[in-house]
Amino acid sequence: MAMNRDKRRNESGATDELDERVVFVNRCAKTVKGGRRMSFSAVIVVGDHEGKVGLGFGKANEVSDAIRKGGDAARKAMKPVTLHGKTIPHDVTGDCDGGRVLLKPAPDGTGLIVGGGMRPVLEAAGIRDAVGKSLGSKNRLNVVKATLDALSKLRSAEEIAAIRA
């Protein structure tokens, strides 16, 4: 799990820091006449630590190219997440194929008590205190997608009150 800060200039000339995390890199082998041909796929999570996070999946013949493609795709796919201070507003579950995750808010200072694929997503989104459990599949891509699904279901108390009114 590598972590680096990516500074890009936006239209106004200011730099915005994005946290880019490599969740995992998968090596794939294709058998051809001359032997095995290797290729790589990378799952990348990008976030701004202020409630926006995106997932990217890049494939290429070189690891660095796969990571670059995944990072570009993640930047394009960034979506807002509803936060309540440094935690999430309420309990939520997310599903993607066989991956299921359960996320619960936690008091200040608790930290992130979550499993493998959920941690980079929550850290990139700016969530510092939460408890999570990965249920079902251990496939990291599906766990990351399920975590993003759970975060997309979050609503603030004001949004819920407006819907009910």
101 class by beta-carbon count within 10 Å (0-12 exposed, 13-18 middle, 19+ buried): buried
Give this prediction's pTM. 0.84
Q: Which uninterrupted H or E stretch holds 158?
A: helix 157-164
Residue range 146-154: mean pLDDT, rounded: 92
Q: Is the pLDDT of residue 163 over 70?
A: yes
Q: Which uninterrupted H or E stretch holds 143?
A: helix 140-152
φ and ψ of 2, to 5 deg = -95, 150
**pLDDT (tens digit, 9 = 90+) per residue, 2-34?**
545 455 545 544 446 888 999 999 999 999 998
Q: Per-residue confidence at 40, pLDDT binned at 50, 70, 90?
A: very high
**pLDDT (tens digit, 9 = 90+) per residue, 100-146?**
999 999 999 889 999 888 999 999 999 999 999 999 888 999 999 99
**pLDDT (tens digit, 9 = 90+) per residue, 61-90?**
999 999 999 999 999 999 999 888 888 998
Please tell me the predicted confidence (pLDDT) of residue 15: 43
Please tell me the predicted confidence (pLDDT) of residue 16: 62
Residues written for the chain: 165
